Amino acid sequence: MSGITNPAEPYFKDGIWGWDAAAWQKLALLWGYTEQWTVVGEETLAANGNFLFTTAALDAEYVYKLEFASLHNNAGPRGRADIDIMTSGQNNYLVWHTALPQWEPLAWTGSVTLVTGDVVRFYIRSCIAGDVVTYALYGYRMKITS
């Protein structure tokens, strides 16, 4: 099979083709879905104190869309818990709770665009040694093209 329906044909090279109500042509998109962005973790705390997990700084060649984040401590209520994003050195809270009950997740849903250097942080204050903290984020990233 050849023609526009065959992804091996040059129509699909370096871009997305589609129907614009008149003809098949390369669509004028600056970016599109590239792949899922997921960070999931679980940590057993070795000592008393605050729990903080920070994602790696985001890559320059992508724009990230954060759509869900969650955090919980399975051991019982502790100090304030929050999920935030650091953009250009400024802390922006997505969600927080003063004393999260045992097994109740702190969850956030929405849509936030993140770029180079931004990070997502998961933070619970006043944890106790042996606490098991789980955290997750889900979204997707888009490769920037010209």
Which pLDDT value is given to residue 2? 44
Average pLDDT over residues 119-131: 93
Q: Identify which of 113, 120, 121, 119 has the alpha carbon closest to the alpha carbon of residue 144.
A: 113
Query: In this structure, are residues 47 and 91 in contact, taking their beta carbons and an 8 Å threshold?
Result: no
* The one-letter amino acid at 9: E
* One domain for residues 59 and 14: no
Mean pLDDT of 14-28: 63
Three-class SS state of 11: helix
Tell me, yes or no, whether 35 and 7 share the same domain. no
Q: What CATH number is associated with residue 59?
A: 2.60.120.260
Domain hosting residue 69, numbered range = 31-143
Q: How far apart are CA 48 and CA 32, in angstroms?
A: 44
Please check whether residues 66 and 123 belong to one and the same domain.
Answer: yes
In angstroms, the CA 100 to CA 127 distance is: 11
Structural domain total, the chain: 2
Joined tokens for residue 38: 């997921």
Residues 69 and 45 occupy one common structural domain: yes
For residues 56 and 66, membership in a common domain is answered with yes
Average pLDDT over residues 99-111: 89
SS3 12: helix
- Token pair for 68: 């869900």
Are 14 and 78 in a shared domain?
no
Examine the pLDDT at 41 and tell me if it is beyond 60: yes
Among 22-26, 40-44, 53-57, 132-136, where is mean pLDDT lowest? 22-26
Burial of 21 (0-12, 13-18, 19+ CB in 10 A): exposed
Do residues 118 and 55 both lie within one domain? Answer: yes
> Coil, strand, or helix at residue 10?
helix
